[in-house]
Homo-oligomer: A and B are copies of this chain.
């Protein structure tokens, strides 16, 4: 993939949507699932550096959080996704709960090579992560999917999981009746032949083979349910746990389950793993995928994928989107950064600009192959 070394490719939300439309939403999801699986299989921790995300959280003017998720691939790029999480956004501003952008920096020069809306990308990669994890940990004959929380993430949970499991029924619940009742309509585009059933949380927990929880349950107000009897192989994708003090799954269920966090360091701080000691954790996401035979027995036991959201997943979808953007010619190339005619002169814009053309020529005459 060859991004411009001078300009910034901006992929707005409309651009990302166009890429997904041109690719087909099913193909895009399938590509993301397959690429994530491959990236996990090939993961080289000496090459990909992912510190835990950090951020600012606050309760005024509204309850919210802005955090940044960095990733560095040696010799290649730095990715920085900035995520805003503001549960009141829909009510207050008619905006999604999660607003985010992904920035890509060239480690040759520090140049911002791309800026991409992260809304749809986040929803797709979060769905894909659940599909990859569930394929290892959930019962392969899973037919009933429970969804607790029927927002944006629930749509892509169903989308991703329906590609890997022969689902017959979706049971869904949301504290907001409108979210619950509109869910089936929102899934019409998925063209899945599945029975949609509005349910109580209790019924979902009792009957599902796989559950995905993606709620905005407030800090200190979780878990979403008490210790209810479940199928002995129930697998839960806990998607909404992403903040210190915020949990969706009861300790009693975690205790009986094989718990697999996407990223242990982060999950211990803000995932369901907050509730556990380190030695109560099964293994992490990459380990599970790399050793799927070893963990096949988990398919017959209770399990939890503690999906806090991992920068590697963002890298996977970012790479796919950028590759398709370059193929399709989608996006806008902007000159944002300072590239002065005299690199040592901050005030080079004073006086005439006649040298600008010459310098552009010099730049274009540089063969990147000579530089390596």
Cβ distance A276 to chain B, nearest Cβ, rounded Å: 27
Cβ distance A19 to chain B, nearest Cβ, rounded Å: 11
Q: Does A218 contact B (CB under 8 A)?
A: no
A12 / chain B contacts, CB cutoff of 8 Å: 334-337
State whether A89 touches B21 (Cβ < 8 A).
no
A58 / chain B contacts, CB cutoff of 8 Å: 72, 74-75, 107
- Stretch of A76-84, A196-204, A278-286, A290-298 contacting B (4+ beta carbons < 8 Å): A76-84
State whether B349 touches A21 (Cβ < 8 A).
yes
Cβ distance A310 to chain B, nearest Cβ, rounded Å: 17
Q: Does A309 contact B (CB under 8 A)?
A: no
Pick from B51, B89, B103, B156: contact of A109, CB below 8 A.
Answer: B89
With an 8 Å Cβ cutoff, the count of chain A residues facing the other chain is 92
- Stretch of A132-140, A265-273, A339-347 contacting B (4+ beta carbons < 8 Å): A339-347
Q: Knowing A95-B111, A344-B152, A363-B94 are in contact, say whether A80-B78 is a contact too (CB < 8 A).
A: no
Q: Does A110 contact B (CB under 8 A)?
A: yes
Measured CB to CB, the nearest residue on chain B to A110 is B84
A344 / chain B contacts, CB cutoff of 8 Å: 90, 96, 150-152, 155, 179, 182, 186
**Distance between Cα atoms of A190 and B345 in the complex (Å):** 12
Q: Does A27 contact B (CB under 8 A)?
A: no
Q: Mark A338-372, 1 if CB is under 8 A from B, else 0.
A: 11101111110111000000010011001000011
